[in-house]
Structure 1
Amino acid sequence: MKPYRDALALPGLRPLLLVAILARVPVAATAVVMTLHVLDLGHRYFAAGLVGSAMTVGSALGAPLLGRLVDRRGLRPMLLLTTAVSALFWGTAPVLPYPVLLGAAFVGGLLTLPVFSVVRQSIAALVPLAQRRQAYALDSMSVELSFMVGPAGAVALATSLSPTLTLYAVGGGIVLAGLTLLVLNPPTRASDEEPTQAEKLPRRQWLTPRLIGLLTGGAAGTLVIAGIDVSVVAVLRDAGQVDWTGVVLALWAACSLIGGFIYGVLSRPVPSLILTLVLGLITIPVGLGSGQWWLLALMLLPSGALTAPTVAATADAVSRLVPASVRGEAMGLHGSAMVMGVAAGAPLAGAVIDATGPAWGFAATGLLGALIALAVLPTQSSHRHSRAAAEPTVIPTAAPRSIPPPLDHRSRRAGVPLPTNTPERAPDQPSNHTL
């Protein structure tokens, strides 16, 4: 526990992680509550899926733009903008006719509150390099907790009250999260990372093949995670054991929490692309356990153990590789990559399941994720040897940070919710997670 105690003792990190958990709960519930609302309007799942896709595409496009706004103007102007837009969207969404709701969902996604990116950018500002792996492991575990609570709470509220009231409740939670972050105002740069006018770097200087490789690997990881989500539901439904879906997914999430905890205290970090590669490979045979729910749960435990570490390692690597003056935009790109992986993994698994069978959803997404990680792995080793992939060098800013020596060693969960046309990881039946 000592590495975690030391990290949590850092000024500002403990309240940031606490706010992150509370702020992510309503974000994690958006997919399921929007699905229930559209169905309550009398539309079918396809219509609900279009609304979810509009929000997903909007958030993927908007995250880097909002991150760039943070880099240029600071955190509070961005929070004011996104909180105001969130209040307008969620305050009117329950009364909008479907065609208007579809367009509003894209705008709402474009300017949605980027809780995941803000928290990860602030961690990079608050935590020295030597302790950043533990901090991102804690962050990844907090994402897991949010996705365990958010969708389940939304379903319970919708069934006990109504989908419309639940929509207002989730929107109110998101607005409250924005206001809380405004009051907390976590730093986005360390005190010795303040930018100067001469520090406005063109993208070609920091958006390198190495960074693109990391982002691609992160997308591959959430692709596999989203595919697992969909495939679990399909396999258990096909076996007539759909009532056990919540148990299987809860065990998977618990194993992810344990894996994230262990990853933070390893003596040496594991490169994020290696984690993605292994995650994909061990997911391929999971479908062999499709006969019984308990066997499927056992087969899922290894992939669960790598879920939180994969997301944590990717965020850690990206935060170390870019200069502080563009960290907001880079973390926005990281968030977009996670969303894109989820958006691709869920329909891919669904298409394979429809064409072949439920068990093949694991094999298809696992194989594709592993192949993508393997394809971009040379972008890391071409710059340096394998250690550089785990410990990227920070591009110096105008006032170089004093970097302590590193330790001898860092959907659901990507922080992003799944599009609403895919099964949610609520106990009764997303992903971001994830995202």
Structure 2
Amino acid sequence: MRQYRAMLALPGVRTLMVLMFFARLPMTAGPMVLTLHVVEGLGRGYGAAGLVWSAATIGIAVGAPVMGRVVDRWGLRPMLVVVTAGEVLFWLTARYLPFPGMVVAAFVGGLVTVPVQSIGRQAIAALVRREDLRRSAYSVDSIAVELTYMIGPAAAVAVVTQVSPSAAMTALAVGIGAVGLALFAANPRTRAEDEENLPKVPRRQWLTGPMLGVLAIAGGAVFVLAGTEVTALAWLRETGQLGWTGAVYAAICLASAIGGLVHGAVRRSLSQVTLMVLLSALVIPAGLLADTWWVLALALVPTSLACAPTIAATGEVVARLAPPGSRGEATGLQSSAFTLGAAAGAPVAGFAVDQASPAMGFAVSGLGGLLIALVAYLLTRAKTSAGAPVVGTPAKAAKTVVPD
């Protein structure tokens, strides 16, 4: 645990981790509130809810790199003013819109979503300069994401069912406003002091094979995770064990957190491509092994152990490959990759389940992940011959000894 103690002792890191944990809670609750509002408030089906969320997803994917460029050029605070006001306005007014207006508003709301994930990753890169400690920092960040996803959606369902969808949307508007104000007040650094006056590097010099490879892995990892979650739900429903959904998801999250802790504690980790292969390959047999909910949970533990490490590794490599003056745009592209991976993974797995069985959903999710891992590997090899850094190659640990 020396790595974690040394990392958390760095100035500003503890405050950043706590701030980002609470800042993510509204973000994780948003999709559930939006879905239940369409179903309960507008009386539409889940297909219509999926259309609204797809529009929001496209908006988020387009807006994240744009907001990152705003941060790179003008700083964090101007961007926060725009997106906080825009997202609060969306949640306050969306309840009054008819369904077609909701679809359009969801896209616009996605464009101005507060990019909490990108802000956190930029701040970690600026505050944690030693690359051996960055692994620990990004691992803690990934574990925090797991915890917020255990809290946010459940809280959203509780408010919607016990009060109303409108109350949940108001609560989200208040929460997002509070997050924006807190981030504005804290104004976490997105560049270190010695990075402030570095010259701008043209995009074509850093958005090359290695960076495209890490973006592919980021999207691929979430593709596998989204497909796994949807398929697990379908399996539990088909076998009449839907009441154990919370227990299965808790086991998945716990295994991912354990994997993240181990990943952050080691000085040399597996490469990104290797982690992606493990994440993908280990989910394929899950549907064939399971016959009861607890066997399904155990079958998903091996792939879940690779979840947080794979996500954390993408943050490490993006921070290493992106020049400081373009870090906002690069982390925005990473967020877009995460968003698009989730948008593709759930429907692809769902289609496989509908056409065949839940076991096929797990297989398709894993095989899709393996294909993406192959693409990332080829992108890496294409630039390696020219001397570019290799995606997934762990950065050399600093020679300074971490104090006990």
Scaled to the shorter chain, the TM-score interval is over 0.9
Q: What is residue 152 of structure 1 aligned with on the other side?
A: 154
For residue 303 of structure 2, what is the amino acid of its counterpart? S
Distance 1:238 1:386 in 2: 46
Q: Greater helix percent: which structure?
A: 2
Q: What is residue 372 of structure 2 aligned with on the other side?
A: 372
Distance 1:304 1:388 in 2: 22
Q: What is residue 397 of structure 1 aligned with on the other side?
A: none
Q: Which among 179, 182, 185 is matched to residue 183 of structure 1?
A: 185
Q: What is residue 121 of structure 1 aligned with on the other side?
A: 122
Q: What is residue 238 of structure 1 aligned with on the other side?
A: 238
Q: What is residue 422 of structure 1 aligned with on the other side?
A: none
Give how far 1:390 is off: 2.5
Give how far 1:267 is off: 3.1
Distance 2:377 2:400 in 1: 23
SS at match of 2:191: coil
Partner deviation per Cα, 1:21-68 (whole Å, 9 max, x = no partner) = 101011001111111111122111111111101110000000000000
| Divergent runs of 4+, >2 A | 378-382, 384-393, 403-408
Give how far 1:375 is off: 2.7
Give how far 1:351 is off: 0.6
Distance 2:64 2:88 in 1: 18
Give how far 1:218 is off: 1.2
Distance 2:105 2:83 in 1: 14
Partner deviation per Cα, 1:262-291 (whole Å, 9 max, x = no partner) = 110123122222111111011111111332
How many residue pairs are counted as aligned between the two chains? Answer: 397
Give how far 1:350 is off: 0.5
TM norm structure 1:
0.88
Whether the 8 Å CA contact 1:236–1:290 is kept in 2: the answer is: no
Distance 1:187 1:161 in 2: 39
Whether the 8 Å CA contact 2:221–2:369 is kept in 1: the answer is: yes
Distance 1:386 1:302 in 2: 29
Distance 1:67 1:187 in 2: 14
Gaps of 5+ in 2: none
Distance 1:25 1:245 in 2: 21
Whether the 8 Å CA contact 1:25–1:149 is kept in 2: the answer is: yes
Q: What is residue 82 of structure 1 aligned with on the other side?
A: 83
Q: Which moved more, 1:100-109 or 1:382-391?
A: 382-391
Q: What is residue 143 of structure 2 aligned with on the other side?
A: 141
Give how far 1:113 is off: 0.3
**1:217-236 maps to which residues of 2 (within 5 A)?**
217-236=217-236
Q: 1:205 to 1:296 in 2, by over 3 A?
A: same
Distance 1:315 1:406 in 2: 22
TM norm structure 2:
0.95
**1:414-433 maps to which residues of 2 (within 5 A)?**
none
Distance 1:216 1:373 in 2: 8
Partner deviation per Cα, 1:200-242 (whole Å, 9 max, x = no partner) = 2221111011100110111111100001000000011111111
Distance 1:385 1:81 in 2: 37
For residue 166 of structure 1, what is the amino acid of its counterpart? A
Q: 1:389 to 1:406 in 2, by over 3 A?
A: farther
Distance 1:272 1:185 in 2: 31
Partner deviation per Cα, 1:53-87 (whole Å, 9 max, x = no partner) = 11100000000000000000000000111011012
